Amino acid sequence: MKFLNKKNKICGLIAICFVTMLSFQIVSITTLNDPENVNIDENPKISATITGTKQWLNNTGFNTTDYWNKETNTDESFPDVNGTIDIDNELANFTVLGDIDTKMIDAPLNDGSWYKFENGIFRLPTQSYIDSRGCFVYHDWDENVDQTHNFPSVQWKKNVSMGFDMSEYNITSASLEVMFNASVFSSVDAPGDTASGGSGGWQSSIFDFAEFYVEISDVEGTFPSKVAYNRTRNLGFTYLSIEEKPIERLGSEAELIAALNGAFESDPNHSNFNITLGINIYCEDNDPSIDVDEWEALIIRSCNLTFTYEKLIDDFTSISWNQNGNNVSSLSPYPIVATRANLKFQYKIDKNWSVYTTKKNSELNIYLNDNPYPIPIKLIDINDTAFEEIDIDLTPPASDAGVNLSIEVLIKDEFGLDQPIIISIDNVTLDISYTIYDIPDPIVAGGGGGGGGRTIIRGEDYTPVVIGLVAGIIGLVAVFGAYQKHFKYPPLVRKIRKLKKKIKKGKTLKSLIVNPREEIIRDNFKLKTRHVLDEEFLQSEVSGKIAKTPKNGKIKKINEKGGK
């Protein structure tokens, strides 16, 4: 009995071990399938490797202004680029700030903005002022009264202020129209005139004349440019008046633009210039007697200066949208390596770049941790009718470095742009694939932001072997236990043991018929006696030596020499 109890204890212990190991396997599998209940064993017994992919960016659809930072490289006082996040349309925009405007100086001359000045050393005419007719001059020269008053001059100046730095703009067109008229008395001498009363002794060189002109200069008048000029020749002989007409412009439109640019460049603020309207009179002493020249009315009627300018976009201006993310190592306390970085986003331009500028070098660039994608997207190639999508692999970031994505518009040429052009991006995603090494099993990768899949890769998986061994052990234990407790006893004994158990439990018993002991002995004696008689009978009938096989009872003759 003691032996049997010992065996039973061994079997029970083995069974408990098996159940414990099986429970451990079930808990491990359940934990791996439930990422919310992951506890890393501080003393792992088995190591594993995890690979996964995680979407790293926040606010990928630009439905808020959070997470994205704008960075520009431009003159902030006169920016060439700007960026906005359009929450309504869920877009991030890069805007190249093209602009166009027109300046017109065409107000009446008596609006109070024109001021009279002397022209250097020259004396003013007899009368000079501004009224509703314009800039008016009357001059009467009598050599008997004042011999030196034969070359008077007067100027009216107007300061024009743009209110901003014109070096940031490019003048594309300009026009100038200044109207004048004149009338004189016959005393004004011109080619063809004779001396008073037809007397001889007439003296002449250049005769009498008037000059009307327009200058553009810096505010100080240091570098004036004469842009329009008219000089009378026959006024006083062929005709005594000139109907209203424009002062002839000097040079081409390009020269007028150059005069304006020169004035702006000379101004410290690149914002101001002067317009000067001038009238000069020259009275030559032609009559040998007393010469009198009377200029009745010299009038500059109006001034209209108009020029158009567009925004000048500086080269190497840039704007970018950036997002900073956590280190890849923030995913796990175990060694981790980023194996791939895949970027996707949609992009579009609102106007065809080539229509507004011939410059082709500006581009859309992509950087991940300052590592550029080697193939930039040229702005001239971007579709202006529908969004396109880019799907590219970038250099994976180092595990201990933050993840910084930058999408940049870089202007690589200087050019004028008369309209804003907007480049838009949307649905920006950055998928980073990674591998975590030497991780205790079980473990589930975690980390903030985005989502992704994961795969557990084991170096060697011994689970099937362990389960097979445990199953074999439990089978052997079961067979050994069954033999020890049941099958090692004869059938009759097993029946008796079963009967005893039933008696102990008080169960109803079936009848069991057992032959008496004497009858069993008698039957056994009869059987053995019959076997002895059969052997004696056979010996008397057979001559020679015989052999009998143990099972089938066949008899084989053996000759006297020992052969078969």
pLDDT at 484: 72
Cα-Cα end-to-end distance for the chain: 56
Residue 497 lies in a domain: no
Residue 149 lies in a domain: yes
Indicate the length of the chain as a whole number: 564
Of residues 520 and 156, the one with the higher pLDDT is: 156
pTM of the model: 0.65
User: Which CATH number covers residue 121?
Assistant: 2.60.120.260
When pLDDT is averaged across residues 352-357 and rounded to a whole number, the result is 94
- Write out the two tokens for 158: 């107007």
Residue 556 lies in a domain: no
Q: Which of 278, 312, 346 is the last residue of a domain?
A: 312
pLDDT at 230: 96
pLDDT at 439: 67
Residues 52 and 451 sit within 8 Å (Cβ to Cβ)? no
> Do both 152 and 167 map to the same domain?
yes
Mean pLDDT (the chain) is 82
What's the domain count of the chain? 3
Of residues 498 and 113, the one with the higher pLDDT is: 113
CA-CA-CA-CA dihedral for 518, 524, 527, 532, to nearest 10: -110
Of residues 406 and 16, the one with the higher pLDDT is: 406
Of residues 11 and 503, the one with the higher pLDDT is: 503
Sign of dihedral through CA atoms 71, 74, 77, 83? negative
> Do both 334 and 220 map to the same domain?
no
477 falls in which pLDDT band (50, 70, 90)?
confident
Q: For 379-410, what is each residue's pLDDT tens digit? A: 999 999 899 999 999 999 988 888 999 999 99
Q: Which of 255, 284, 312 is the last residue of a domain?
A: 312
441: region left, alpha or beta (phi > 0 left; psi from -120 to 50 alpha): beta
> Do both 255 and 286 map to the same domain?
yes
Residues 248 and 230 sit within 8 Å (Cβ to Cβ)? yes
> Do both 240 and 380 map to the same domain?
no
pLDDT at 515: 65
- Write out the two tokens for 74: 């431009």
> Do both 237 and 340 map to the same domain?
no
Q: How far apart are CA 94 and CA 379, in angstroms?
A: 12
Residue 128 lies in a domain: yes
Q: Which residues of 511-538 are buried (b: 16+ CB within 10 A; e: fewer)?
A: eeeeeeeeeeeeeeeeeeeeeeeeeeee
Q: How far apart are CA 56 and CA 247, in angstroms?
A: 70
pLDDT at 212: 98
CB atoms under 10 Å from CB of 217, counted, come to 20
Of residues 453 and 524, the one with the higher pLDDT is: 524
Q: For 131-147, what is each residue's pLDDT tens digit? A: 999 999 999 998 788 87
Q: For 181-192, what is each residue's pLDDT tens digit? A: 999 998 898 887
459 falls in which pLDDT band (50, 70, 90)?
very low
pLDDT at 288: 62
Residue 509 lies in a domain: no
Q: How far apart are CA 424 and CA 56, in angstroms?
A: 21
> Do both 80 and 138 map to the same domain?
no
Report the largest interatomic distance among the alpha carbons of the chain, rounded to a whole angstrom. 207
pLDDT at 549: 45
> Do both 157 and 300 map to the same domain?
yes
Q: For 219-249, what is each residue's pLDDT tens digit? A: 998 889 999 999 999 998 888 999 999 999 9
48 falls in which pLDDT band (50, 70, 90)?
confident
Range of the domain at 333: 51-98+327-410+434-457
Residues paired with residue 391 on neighbouring β-strands, in sequence order: 344
> Do both 165 and 306 map to the same domain?
yes
Q: How far apart are CA 477 and CA 494, in angstroms?
A: 21
Residue 531 lies in a domain: no
> Do both 16 and 89 map to the same domain?
no
> Do both 160 and 299 map to the same domain?
yes
pLDDT at 213: 97
Q: In the predicted model, is pLDDT for residue 204 greater than 50?
A: yes
> Do both 77 and 115 map to the same domain?
no
> Do both 21 and 66 map to the same domain?
no
Q: In the predicted model, is pLDDT for residue 475 greater than 50?
A: yes
Residue 251 lies in a domain: yes
- Write out the two tokens for 9: 């204890």
Residue 495 lies in a domain: no
Q: Which of 312, 340, 371 is the last residue of a domain?
A: 312
